[in-house]
């Protein structure tokens, strides 16, 4: 008989060992059951997601129709939320810097209305400058260009005729074109038919355009009123949203939602402020440099590039194309110098200004910015280009943080995935 070395009693150590084995086995079984339960939850979520995707594919037409119908109803309120978000950036700066010393119960009640009024006045001044200075200058430029276009075309025709006279090969190729085979009578009849039938279509299009303008004005007014309400009650609305999150989401999800929301707010605010500042700097650079080199339409082209450069990456090139055409009509040689100036300033802006003003604010590498602009532009046009950069920046930051956390835990020997 085996006796215990401590107690001297038989089978006591064996009983203690058996008890420990039972406890260890039950603990291991409990862990396996918890692991299996977690696996079942994951499988159930994947099955629900797969079923949802299958239904979306099968009824894609109805889903898109329903989404478009819902968007049409909610469009003024969505635009109002976007307007409120944009207006909140300067309004928050006014409250934190200009009205920082307003403390006390009475001052707190006046702080929000005063900051809203100051913000609206500042925006109204910017719009007044655009309408009163920029637009008349652009109209004058377009008028001058319209007067110069006939002379420009005549000059180009003369240069083309001179080129054909000097180049016999080009003249032979032009003479080989069979213009006599064109039935000019049929072509004229088709043009007249289009003009007769197009009159009714044009009238209908006019009514459609008028209806769209009225609808746009009404939606804009509703959106603006809704934006003012959001700005006036933003703390209360944020508190109500927080209560909804606390009531319907578990603690772990609540933390992630709040973190993602704060990151989205920071990225969108930094991106909008940085993009506007970068566009202003680039426009001033073009106005000053074009004035120094005595290029025509300096103010118009600079303002145009400033506005178009609000669109990331492709916007400044659009302004460059229009500016090149304007200068080309006046002087082709100066248009060539303008292209050289544009690429020099674009390099300065891309390598020095943009990374410090916008790039660091969103924390997104250039390749991801290009991808965000391409995807957003393909799906939602210019709005998508502006929205997808902060969205992708937020997703990039969350994924990067999660990857870094997993790497740190892996170095410490903690594995988030259970390995067999």
Structure tokens belonging to residue 324: 């090149």
- CA proximity to 78, closest of 383, 302, 315, 344: 383
pLDDT-based confidence at 214, cuts 50/70/90? confident
Number of other CB atoms surrounding residue 44 within 10 Å:
10
> Nearest 5°: phi and psi at 365?
-60, 160
Is residue 179 helix, strand or coil? coil
222-242 pLDDT tens trace = 999 999 999 989 889 989 998
List, in order, residues 6 or more apart from 412 with CB less than 8 Å away: none
Query: How does the average pLDDT of the chain come out, rounded?
Result: 78
Instruction: Give the ranges where 293-365 is alpha helix by DSSP (H).
Output: 298-308, 315-330, 332-348, 354, 360-362
User: What letter would DSSP give residue 356?
Assistant: I
Is residue 99 helix, strand or coil? coil
Structure tokens belonging to residue 178: 């069979």
Q: What is the mean pLDDT of residues 158-184?
A: 62
Angle between helices 135-166 and 168-175 (to 10 degrees): 100
Q: What is the mean pLDDT of residues 158-174?
A: 65
275-319 pLDDT tens trace = 888 889 999 999 999 999 999 889 888 988 998 888 877 788 888
Structure tokens belonging to residue 149: 């276009």
List, in order, residues 6 or more apart from 247 with CB less than 8 Å away: none
Structural contact between residues 98 and 122, judged by C-beta atoms closer than 8 angstroms: no
CA 21 to chain centre: 61
Question: Residue 40 and residue 188: Cα distance in Å, rounded?
Answer: 74
Residue 420 above 50 pLDDT?
no
User: What letter would DSSP give residue 309?
Assistant: T
Residue that the structure tokens 């080989």 belong to: 176
Domain ranges of the chain: 1-58, 267-407
**pLDDT number for residue 64:** 79
Structural contact between residues 323 and 338, judged by C-beta atoms closer than 8 angstroms: yes
Q: What share of the chain is helix, strand, coil (3-state, %, to 5)?
A: 85, 0, 10
pLDDT-based confidence at 18, cuts 50/70/90? low
Q: What is the mean pLDDT of residues 81-102?
A: 88
117-136 pLDDT tens trace = 999 999 999 888 877 777 78
Residue 13 above 60 pLDDT?
no
Query: What residues does 363 pair with on adjacent strands?
Result: none
- CA proximity to 224, closest of 81, 71, 113: 81
Q: What is the mean pLDDT of residues 77-97?
A: 89
Percent of the chain with pLDDT over 70: 76
**pTM for the complete prediction?**
0.70
Residue 419 above 60 pLDDT?
no
**pLDDT number for residue 287:** 93
Structural contact between residues 388 and 376, judged by C-beta atoms closer than 8 angstroms: yes
19-76 pLDDT tens trace = 555 555 555 565 566 656 767 777 887 888 888 888 878 887 887 788 888 888 888 8
Question: Residue 81 and residue 90: Cα distance in Å, rounded?
Answer: 15
DSSP secondary structure of 387-412: HHHHHHHHHHHHHHHHHHHHHHHHHT
Q: Is the dihedral of CA 231, 236, 240, 241 positive or negative?
A: positive
Structural contact between residues 242 and 254, judged by C-beta atoms closer than 8 angstroms: no
Instruction: Give the ranges where 233-250 is alpha helix by DSSP (H).
Output: 234-248
Structure tokens belonging to residue 265: 């707010």
Structure tokens belonging to residue 102: 């307003």
Question: Residue 306 and residue 283: Cα distance in Å, rounded?
Answer: 4
Question: Residue 96 and residue 91: Cα distance in Å, rounded?
Answer: 9
Question: Residue 335 and residue 324: Cα distance in Å, rounded?
Answer: 5
- For residues 334 and 197, the model is more confident at 334
């Amino acid at each position: 008989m085996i006796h215990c070395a401590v107690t001297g009693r038989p089978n006591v150590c064996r009983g203690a060992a058996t008890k420990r084995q039972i406890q260890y086995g039950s603990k291991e079984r409990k862990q396996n059951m918890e692991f299996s339960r977690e696996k079942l939850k994951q499988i159930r979520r994947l099955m629900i997601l797969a079923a949802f995707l299958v239904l979306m594919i099968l009824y894609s037409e109805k889903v898109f129709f329903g989404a478009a119908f819902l968007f049409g109803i909610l469009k003024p309120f969505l635009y109002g939320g976007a307007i409120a978000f944009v207006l909140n950036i300067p309004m928050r700066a006014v409250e934190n810097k200009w009205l920082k010393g307003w403390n006390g119960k009475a001052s707190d009640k006046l702080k929000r209305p005063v900051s809203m009024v100051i913000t609206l006045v500042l925006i109204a001044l910017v719009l007044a400058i655009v309408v009163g200075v920029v637009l008349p200058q652009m109209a004058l430029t377009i008028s001058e260009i319209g007067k110069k276009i006939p002379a420009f075309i005549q000059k180009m025709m003369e240069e083309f005729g001179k080129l054909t006279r000097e180049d016999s090969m080009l003249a032979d190729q032009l003479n080989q074109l069979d213009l006599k085979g064109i039935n000019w009578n049929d072509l004229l009849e088709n043009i007249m038919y289009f003009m007769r039938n197009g009159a009714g279509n044009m009238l209908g299009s006019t009514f459609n355009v008028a209806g769209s303008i009225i609808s746009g004005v009404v939606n804009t007014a509703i959106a603006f009123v809704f934006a003012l309400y959001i700005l006036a009650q933003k703390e209360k609305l944020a508190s109500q949203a927080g209560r909804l999150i606390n009531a319907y989401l578990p603690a772990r999800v609540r933390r992630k939602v709040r973190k993602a929301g704060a990151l989205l707010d920071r990225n969108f605010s930094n991106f909008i402020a940085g993009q506007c500042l970068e566009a202003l700097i680039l426009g001033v650079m073009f106005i000053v440099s074009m004035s120094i080199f005595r290029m025509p339409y300096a103010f118009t082209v600079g303002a145009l590039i400033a506005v178009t450069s609000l669109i990331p990456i492709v916007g400044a090139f659009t302004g460059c194309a229009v500016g090149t055409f304007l200068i080309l009509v006046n002087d082709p040689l100066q248009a060539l110098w303008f292209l050289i100036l544009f690429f020099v300033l674009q390099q300065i802006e891309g390598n020095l200004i943009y990374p410090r003003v916008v790039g660091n604010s969103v924390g997104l590498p250039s390749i991801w910015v290009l991808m965000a602009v391409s995807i957003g532009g393909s799906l939602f046009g210019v709005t998508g280009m502006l929205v997808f950069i902060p969205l992708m920046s937020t997703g990039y930051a969350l994924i990067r943080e999660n990857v870094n956390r997993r790497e740190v835990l892996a170095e410490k020997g903690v594995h988030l995935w259970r390995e067999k």
